[in-house]
Structure 1
């Protein structure tokens, strides 16, 4: 299976988009570990072009939901958490406890937090919408400043 990437500029800085022939596999911030070195730069890949277009719409406040084929790599547990993340409505925040409840395991808050932190599809799978039970912002792969920016953007356009 072939892997492709394209780096784009956004209001949050550079993001590198990764895709296979069939689906988007990762969206990584500049400081995050890159996908396999076997990925080929291909800015004209149709999925990467579409992802960039939808991200631009999101940042402009005209898109609230993404419509892209996704194939994040992770364990079965991580996949369940990421699937649940995708159900958090635009402009809404959940606690880690709410996320754990949504997958049917209220005691899994810490494990849910770890799975959340491993989400390879930032923004599109909205892990930024998960905050501490006390309402405080907690870790985010892009940094808390970027998490705050995303939440403020969504509050403005919700």
Structure 2
């Protein structure tokens, strides 16, 4: 088995510093600074556990494109991301995460509605888990999924980041 290389870099954003990581296939991870209390070590270690060689590379083309598109998104000039994504997993969780990309900019849905849309209406909690473990937050818009009662629900970047993203997309 050949080892692949995962390149990474960090970027600033209105929701804090983000770590971006890509494989030769595409973007594999977007991480909020709050996910790692040890200067990105937790996130980088998890990437290395896949058997990949993880190296900082601010010149990686996929990472440069992701940084540009995130800047445009936060500036309000981009609604959809056009990036290659590395998502090899074919589990229910991945099925949900693929569906998340179909939720339009500025719109929200509920965990229950997502479960119904992926033909598993009883899997509301599993949908929540899929959103909570989304390796590509912001790019794959799990922030657009709310609790059935209209509450925010959880978010990997924290409730303030989720509120910010929803407000950005609603024009407020």
TM tier relative to shorter chain: over 0.9
Equivalent position of 1:138 in the other structure: 153
TM-score of the pair, normalised by structure 1: 0.95
1:106 corresponds in structure 2 to 121
Which residue of structure 2 lines up, in the alignment, with residue 17 of structure 1?
20
Other-structure match for 2:63? 48
TM-score (norm 2): 0.88
Q: Show the 5 A alignment for 1:12-91.
A: 12-32=15-35, 33-35=42-44, 36-37=47-48, 38-72=53-87, 74=89, 76-91=91-106
1:75-106 alpha-carbon deviations (Å, 9 max, x no partner): 51111001110110000000000000110011
Q: Secondary structure at the match of 2:113?
A: helix
Aligned length: 157
- What stretches of structure 1 of length at least 5 have no aligned partner? none
Moved over 3 A (4+): 72-75
Please tell me whether the aligned partners of residues 72 and 121 of structure 1 are also in contact (alpha carbons under 8 angstroms). no
